[in-house]
Structure 1
Amino acid sequence: MVRTILLASAAILAIPTLAHAQSAPAQAGDQPQAEATDDSRVGEIVVTAQRREESVQNVPIAISAFTAEQLERQGVSNALQIAQFVPNLTAQNNTGLGSANAYYLRGLGSTETIPTFDPPVGTYVDDIYLSRQNANNLSLFDVERVEVLRGPQGTLFGRNTTGGAINVIMRQPGHEIGGYAEVGYGRFEKKLARGSIDLPLADTFSIKLSGYWQDDKGYVKNTTTGERLNDDDGWGARLGVRGELSPDVTWNGSYMHVVNDSDYLLNFECDPRAPSNCNGRFATTGYREHPTGAPVFAGRFTGRKQNYPLGNNTDTDLVTSKFDIGIGENATLSLITGYLSQVQQYGLDFFDGRSSPTLAVPSPAVLGLATGGFTFVSDQQSEQFTQEIKLNGSLGDGLIDYVTGAYYLKENVRDDFGDFFGTLNLVLADRILRNSTKALAGYAQADLNLGQFKFTAGVRYTDETKRLGFHDNRASCQAVVGPTCLDTRNLIVPANGTTVPVAVPIPTKLSTKLWTPRFAINWKPNNDILLFASATRGFKSGGWNARETAPSRILPFGPEKVWSYEIGAKTELFDRRLRANVTAFQLDVTDLQVLSGILNPTTGALTFITRNPANYRNRGVEVELTAVPAEGLNLFVNVGYSDDNYRLKKNVPAFDQYGIQSIVAQQAACKQALAAGKVPTGPNTPATQPSIAACASSIVTAQGTIAEPVRTPDWTLSLGGSYRAEFAGGWALTPSVAASYHSKQEVATSNLTFFTGSISGVNQPATGPFPVNPNSGDIILGSRSLAAWLVNASLALSTPEDRIRFSVECTNCLGESFFQSALANYNYLNQPMTWMVKARYNF
């Protein structure tokens, strides 16, 4: 298979020569080709990747763009599923949270939702940035298109786009009455209703009303409580407004309210209570989604979170406003305003009502604890306001195209959250976190058009300030704020006489001022070929380890900075029956932010550590092919290859100012422990401390090597197609199939996996050798996720003019299962096979 893909890639690289021979030279000022009026050619997609409308084939950036019709053909109904069709993009829900997507694009991503972390793949809705990834698994019920921009977008999109950006563009109101209504029913008793209507109220003023509702039982059976878990419930409504206020002024505004009650709770293919029962998905936590008595955390936690049952709920309100003001014939001034309010409330059990797997006990006994095994409860509220002023235009009769502007962001977050360790009946922490972000930026980018060549230069300056504060809710910390209370005044690392000679205060304010430039050159020898090369810088904000339960460990981490280099070709061949785009890239990251969720071998509790332990490099190739070989037949093949690794920092001290060990020193300590016969992740005792803790932690593996980066399979592949067969009277039958593949990958930072086969060491249990080992054998659980295929398919029957359509569809049709994530040695699986039948009426 690898040889086949390599040969295909080589063939694509030869396409520019072929296309040059068949097309006329491009002339200065050529306009994008118009959309084909039939189904015999690849359709043009207009994108806003450079903050102005232009054909995707004219943009010197690696972009995957999907129209609403393409998304429907490929079985995509939410933002998470888009990842199956984008080269070098992987995505999964954050552990526990069905509303939150963790994107990893070209190796850069984050699984954190606590508000002191920012995702490196930004999500935008109608030019409005969503700071948090708590509720970014958007239902695509009324979209015009979705653009996935790969690589840092720091010049035009700003901070926190080191990996790229997911840009969702909603449909604008139409000038005529029209819309659709759709209902569906599917597996796990899923029910769906969606609809939209355009209502022109005047010649120059229209509104759009749209919404959706969905409900299901959940695909997981809890054999302790009898409940069904991992349901995907929710609803949303949107009001869109479009007004042509004058010949030179247009206003587009919207208000959207979305409720997402979806979970991604720990579950297993075989019932832990009855391991021979492997018919379905199972959980055993005693923490109930529908409590039958008093809330289990009443009196244990403070605030309304003490009443939260098992589950996750997010309420999002998004207001957008954009005024476009024409200035003369060659410039447009845009005023873009956004307001986002979000409330998230959840109670999540990460240990399935028992303890976590260890080498000594790889299959913990089912306890069904009513409080859960290791439980987080959270009551988070955030508000975000953004204002942007953007000017697009051209000078010198098209000699220079430019975009410039200023941007302001203000965000305030309050998170009241607590941690409960069920196996010890212990409240680990109960605190209120308050943090804020204020960012100011100015940017400018210009294209110099010289015949077939275009030279691009741009830069953005960002001035960002973050602040942090804690208040401990525990009764013991109210009268006297002792040194163990999680309070702002206690944020200090005490001296220990060795690695921390004197006490070090932890800063509660972080400031970043940074320039992020971009340079590119394009050559367009004819209308059908674009060759480009670019260099772009971006950065992701720093933050704090706010999940920690001790004030001395609320440590800061710095921003991550990246340079990306791309060369590529975008081509359209054979009278637009084939589109072939190829990009090669190199990504160099300085101070990569690495998140580790580590199981403390002494206490069994989770410890979360995020630092900037290493640099990172990723090199790869991306190929995207779209073809229409015959009228009504649409085919696509997308291939991504990635070769990445961590790069250790040189000449760094063994311990930093906060007493955190460098990776070089940690690796040396791990190797020393292994040479002494100690077993990594085995129980810690005074005889084995401290060196054994250096193994299977951060980016050092259980074998003392440097880990493979997470969620970056060497190969990603998607392919599929659809065919619209029309019959007499205008009826049509459209079968569609889409398959995606990823090669083997690691899903836990330290790559820790438990294998069959026992292992002995100086710290083995008194009962004998550990029953499993962290080195080799058959995989039991942990970081290693094997290669997998996912297949989606649908069959649709349409009446004349597509007035009515009936369809049946399935996702993950073959029921493939694989590890998507790992936390505290437990694995999170992808969703099982689902099917749905739908009926739609267009008017």
Structure 2
Amino acid sequence: MRKIVRSCLLAATALGPSGGSALAQQVEAQPGALPEIVVTSQRREESLQDVPLAVSAFTADTLETRVIFNTLGLLNFVPNMFGSNNTGLGSANAYYIRGLGNTETIATFDPPVGTYVDEVYLSRQNGNNFGFFDVERIEVLRGPQGTLFGRNTTGGAVNVILKRPGDEFGGFLEAGYGAYGRVLVRGSVDLPLSEAIQVKLSGYWNDDKGYVRNTTTGERLNDNDMLGLRAAVQLRATERLTWNAAVAWMEANGENLLNFTCDPRNPTNCAGRFVTTGMREGGPAGGRYTQTVTGRKANFGLGNEVGTLLVTSNIEWAGDNHRLSIITGVVDMSQDFALDFQDGRASPTAANPFPAVRGFTNGGFAILNAGRHQQFTQEVKLDGSLFGGVVDYVAGFYLYDESNQTDFADLFTLDIGSPTGLPLLLADRILVNDTKAQAVYLQADVKLTDQLTVTGGVRYTDETKTAQLLDNRATCAVLPKPPTCLGASLVASNGTPIPTRLETRKWTPRFVVNWKPEEDLLFFASATNGFKSGGWNARATANNLFLPFDPEFVWSYEGGVRSQWFGNRLQANLTVFWLDTKDLQTPSAFQNPATGAITFITQNFADYVNRGVELELTARPLDRLNVYANLGYQKDKYKVSDTLAPNRFGVKAIRQQQADCRAQLAAGRIPLGVGADNAPDCAAGIVTATGDIATPVRTPDWSLSFGGTYDFPFERSGVILSPSVNVTWRSSLEQGTANATIFSGSIRAPSGALYPANPFSGDVITGSRTDSHFLVSASLALRTDDDNWLLALECDNCFDTEFGQSSLVNYTYLNLPRTWLVRLKRKF
């Protein structure tokens, strides 16, 4: 059997990954072998090939080889992981792992894929697309991590580990220039002051002019400006006691505005990317968007600015068999933005699939936001071995305290035929919400024999959330406040009071069995539990829509193999999983048929099941050739209750909505239509235009990535030429929760009107549907054989492939266009 498996895997080495996946320590067992990779995915140091869970990890060298400069770039290299910038926000990434993800950044909604920097949790998705500088490694953990990483990791975790100060003076400096006027500068220096004190200073700066042209205002948009500065210190008080502390400031000032490959003002011009909004970067004429919007947000220019202060501290005491870590984190994030989500016009419908360009100066549907998000975490962690190494354990206590204040307004411009339209203020309010949580956890590995180990772990979390709405309108400044003021009377449409305090107490266990029949082969099976916090539908513009949603609970069942072959020239890791989610939290948005404005709603629409396979191959078939291949398959669906009764707040049940949709279809009404012709219960929530339950979003059945690097040495000149290529392919997928898509082909409405488009079939005009697609990135690097100089030419999305990454109210948000960069790097 082993000979057969060896032969099959040898045939696959031509597809095998580039340059290893992660690095904490690298030790080559024999010449030509892949390096051993030490990760901390179980909160203690272990070899990657000994970790009984699904982990993809990347070293600094691998990130550079694959042209990954920020967290968004990871998406193409992890099986069954998909995502993009959030609609509008270039600073925020919506990660989806095994179907669990989130496109909402409002502070009452927590992302199910957690982001960690040096073991400190970053709770807000608003600024998780930060630039990489001085990274030691990145680990992407797939599946719930509720035992060791805690709440809000039902989908997984992105774990970023930055380099600690070095013992010797050294560093690097690099500069680059690229597409759309991009300028990149990165650098780092280690300053060892003594044997006891080491300092590291690092930074990066990225600036570009933006890849989108606004043919209304003449401005360039969707730039990706980033800044990062970090100072780290390492104090070795004794041989056993070490303190590592760092302070970092990160800015992510980028947009992801709706844009088009052909100019909506001149559809024959398809040379680039275009928008037509009348909102300006310098702010509205007269200094305010309307006379009724309050606060400094009324003067914001079109754009998005996020600043994050991150302070981390880790005091470590290392004994012979035990290590104590006291980990402290402080996060202070601010976000200001003014964004137009309808390109200065209306949303597409079947009756009007190509809305006329208006260029309204207040935008089509605009959100103005001034947010402040502060977080403090304290963790005490103890790990080590007992009974002569029979038991390995990790235990700890965790404290979390977060405060958020978001001042935001929704502004909709009604098209009344005038050049400026009629701006309507839908809501102007302040959301104040806090979260406090405490947790204790313990996980232990017990070696029953030299080959067989069982693991048991559990975490107990006690969490409390509170929320308050304050209406900014002048009519709401009086006492008693009119009941129409937001926050004045939080009562659902059926008269049920809406709670402003949510409490969750939850045990999240983990069980694993792993069998290691020999050094290079590991089999494992696991069952892991996790949960994601509940919250409120905070984008509500009326009191009766500020409804809570329940926590999301997940069980994940996995089985897998970790293996090394041919003297560790090939690593093959296979995982199969079954994910069972209760009360899936689903953000949804639809066009209000009465006003045309966007209405947001987040609810527990259904349960969710996903199952799949993930294969990761890394190989070095030749000493100078590193290749990789990752394959993901998943098949998922919503599980909807058969009840027709509304929930406790009077929200219509999905089965009732489905029945109503089918009745509307039987009457000839048209989903995504207008007026009395519309079928409002179709193409909304998770019910499709045909009255079926939707396909879950951002889960292509198949995903594949492969590529490699080859080193050509020129010994006489002392340089090495290294071409690299990376290819990603995904099958078709849906982006909108209701799978709402507008297709070509006319249809007759009940009113007798002939719609030029339809919501059922034909060629895709706009909306949720995304076809299968390839992405190619490549680089050509020339470096000296002492590794001191590097000159590289790189391209991302080299063939300028276009596909939808997300959608909002029938508009499709496209992926980034082709970019290129020339970099020069000097190590010293």
TM-score, normalised via structure 1 length: 0.94
Aligned to 1:115: 107
* 3-state SS of 1:153 partner: coil
Alpha carbons 2:336, 2:369 under 8 Å: kept: yes
CA distance in 2, matches of 1:731, 1:234: 32
Residue number in structure 2 paired with 1:646:
638
What's the counterpart of residue 613 of structure 1?
605
Residue 268 in 1 paired to residue 243 in 2?
no
Runs of 4+ displaced beyond 3 Å? 10-16
Q: Equivalents in 2 of 1:12, 1:467: separation in Å?
A: 57
Report the alpha carbon displacement of residue 41 of structure 1 after superposing the two structures with TM: 2.0
Given that 1:639 and 1:716 are in contact with CA atoms closer than 8 Å, whether structure 2 keeps it comes out as yes
Residue 689 of structure 2 corresponds to 702
CA distance in 2, matches of 1:101, 1:794: 25
Instruction: Give the equivalent residue in structure 2 for 1:28.
Output: none
Q: What does residue range 720-759 of structure 1 map to in structure 2 within 5 Å? A: 720-729=707-716, 730-759=718-747
**Which residue does the alignment assign to 1:3?**
none
| Rounded Cα–Cα distance in structure 1 between residues aligned with 2:802 and 2:343 | 19
- What is the correspondence of 1:241-252 to structure 2 with a 5 Å cutoff? 241-252=233-244
Aligned to 1:467: 466
The one of 125, 129, 132 equivalent to 1:133 is: 125
Q: 2:797 aligns with which of 812, 819, 823?
A: 812
Whether 1:693 and 2:680 are equivalent positions in the alignment is yes
Farther off after superposition, 268-277 or 246-255: 246-255
Aligned to 1:99, the other structure's residue is in SS state coil
CA distance in 1, matches of 2:805, 2:7: 33
* Equivalent pair of 2:795/2:819 in contact (CA under 8 Å): yes
1:322-337 matches, within 5 Å, as 322-327=314-319, 329-337=320-328
Match of 1:795 in 2: 780
Matching residue within 762, 785, 808 for 1:823: 808
Q: Distance in 2 between matches of 1:144 and 1:217?
A: 30
Residues 139-190 of structure 1: per-residue CA shift (max 9 Å, x gap): 1111000000000000000000000000000011100000000000001010
Instruction: Give the SS at the match of 2:662.
Output: helix
Separation (CA, whole Å) in 2 of partners of 1:819 and 1:296: 33
Contact 2:129 2:252 in 1 (8 A): no
> How far, CA to CA, are the matches of 2:30 and 2:272 in structure 1?
45
Structure 2 residue corresponding to 1:208, chosen from 194, 200, 206: 200
Q: Secondary structure at the match of 1:225?
A: coil
Native 8 Å contact 1:12 1:580 kept in 2:
no
Match of 1:100 in 2: 92
Seen in structure 2, the aligned counterparts of structure 1 residues 568 and 13 have a Cα distance that, compared at 3 Å, is: farther
> In the alignment, is the contact (CA less than 8 A) between 1:807 and 1:837 conserved in 2?
yes
1:201-350 paired onto structure 2 within 5 Å: 201-291=193-283, 293-297=285-289, 299-327=291-319, 329-350=320-341
1:71-86 alignment runs, 5 A limit: 71-86=63-78
Task: Quote the Cα distance in structure 2 between the aligned partners of 1:788 and 1:350.
Answer: 25
Name 1:456's counterpart in structure 2.
455
1:522 aligns with 2:514: yes
Maintained 8 Å contact 1:298/1:307? no
Tell me which amino acid in the other structure corresponds to 1:681.
L
SS of 1:165's equivalent?
strand
Superposed CA deviations along residues 107-130 of structure 1, whole A, max 9, x for unmatched, are 000000000000000000000001
Query: Among the aligned pairs, what percent are the same residue?
Result: 53
1:648-680 C-alpha deviation (Å, 9 max, x unpaired) = 124x35211211111111111111111121111
Amino acid at match of 2:335: Q
Shift of 1:260: 1.3
Deviation for aligned residue 1:36: 1.6
SS at match of 1:596: strand
Question: CA contact under 8 A between 1:725 and 1:734: conserved in structure 2?
Answer: yes
Q: State the AA in 1 paired with 2:680.
A: A
2:546 to 554, 569, 588: 554
> What value does the CA root-mean-square deviation take over the aligned residues?
1.7
- C-alpha separation between the residues in 1 aligned to 2:548 and 2:387? 49
Give me the whole-angstrom Cα distance separating, in 2, the residues matched to 1:712 and 1:756: 25
Matched, 1:365 2:386: no
Q: CA deviation at 1:38?
A: 8.3
Report what 1:7 is aligned to.
none
Match of 2:572 among 577, 580, 585: 580
**Structure 1 residue 333, shift from structure 2 partner:** 0.9
What's 1:479 paired with?
478
Quick check: 1:45–1:67 contact (8 Å CA) kept in 2? Answer: no
Q: Work out whether residues 151 and 162 of structure 1, in 8 Å CA contact, stay in contact via their aligned partners in 2.
A: yes
Give the AA of the match of 2:348.
P
SS of aligned partner of 1:802? coil
Q: Offset at 1:294?
A: 2.6
Alpha-carbon deviation of 1:11? Answer: 6.5
Aligned residues of 1:296 and 1:370 also touching (Cα < 8 A): no
Q: Helix, strand or coil: the match of 2:504?
A: strand
**Does the Cα contact within 8 Å between 1:408 and 1:441 map onto a contact in 2?**
yes
Return the letter of the residue paired with 1:353: G
Distance 2:615 2:673 in 1: 45
Aligned pair count?
804
Which residue number in structure 1 is paired with residue 378 of structure 2? 387
Query: Contact conserved, 1:39 with 1:632, CA < 8 A, in 2?
Result: no
- For 2:248 and 2:650, the matched residues in 1 are separated by 47
212-221 or 297-306, larger mean C-alpha shift? 297-306
Amino acid across the alignment from 1:699 = I
Instruction: Tell me the distance in 2 between the aligned counterparts of 1:510 and 1:707.
Output: 30
TM-score (norm 2): 0.95
SS in 2 for 1:793: strand
1:11/1:747 Cα in 2 relative to 1: closer, same or farther (>3 Å)? Answer: farther
Asked if residue 717 in structure 1 is aligned to residue 727 in structure 2, the reply is no
Q: Is the 8 A contact 2:138 2:158 kept in 1?
A: yes
Alpha-carbon contact 2:216-2:359 (below 8 Å) kept: yes
**In the alignment, is the contact (CA less than 8 A) between 2:344 and 2:360 conserved in 1?**
yes
Report which stretch shifted further, 420-429 or 703-712.
Answer: 420-429
The answer to whether the aligner puts 1:664 opposite 2:649 as a matched pair is no
2:763 to 758, 765, 778: 778
Which deviates further from its counterpart, 564-573 or 283-292? 283-292
Q: Please list every run of 5 or more consecutive structure 1 residues that lacks an aligned counterpart in the other structure.
A: 1-9, 20-31, 495-499
Is the partner of 1:352 in helix, strand or coil? coil
1:11/1:377 CA distance change after superposition, 3 Å: farther
Q: In the alignment, what sits opposite 2:419?
A: none
Instruction: Say whether the 8 Å CA contact 2:284–2:361 is kept in structure 1.
Output: no
In structure 1, the residue corresponding to 2:434 is in which secondary structure? Answer: strand
Q: Answer whether contact 1:296 1:371 (CA < 8 A) is retained.
A: no
Q: How does 1:33-72 map to 2 (within 5 A)?
A: 35-36=27-28, 40-72=32-64
C-alpha separation in 2, matches of 1:290 and 1:761: 43
Residue 44 of structure 1 and its aligned partner are, at CA, apart by 1.7
Looking at structure 2, the residues matched to 186 and 258 of structure 1 have their Cα atoms a distance apart, in angstroms, of 22
Match of 2:432 in 1: 434
Report how far residue 34 of structure 1 moved.
Answer: 5.8
Q: Does 1:397 align with 2:388?
A: yes
Query: Gaps spanning 5+ residues in structure 2: where?
Result: 14-23, 415-421
Match in the other structure for 2:16: none
Q: SS in structure 1 opposite 2:90?
A: strand
Change (3 A) 1:648 1:158: same
SS of equivalent to 2:286: coil
Are 1:163 and 2:155 matched, yes or no?
yes
- For the residues of structure 2 that align with 1:203 and 1:541, how far apart are their CA atoms? 45
What is aligned with 2:20?
A: none
Q: 3-state DSSP class of the match of 2:657?
A: helix
* Structure 1 residue 556 displacement after superposition: 0.2
Letter in 1 for 2:466: R
Which stretch of structure 1 is more off in the superposition, 368-377 or 655-664? 655-664
Name the residue aligned to 1:24.
none
Q: 1: distance between equivalents of 2:166 and 2:318? A: 21
Q: Is 1:418 the counterpart of 2:413 in the alignment? A: no
Structure 1 match to 2:19: none
Kindly provide the amino acid, as one letter, of the partner of residue 523 in structure 1.
W
Mapped to 2, the partners of 1:34 and 1:154 lie a distance apart of: 29
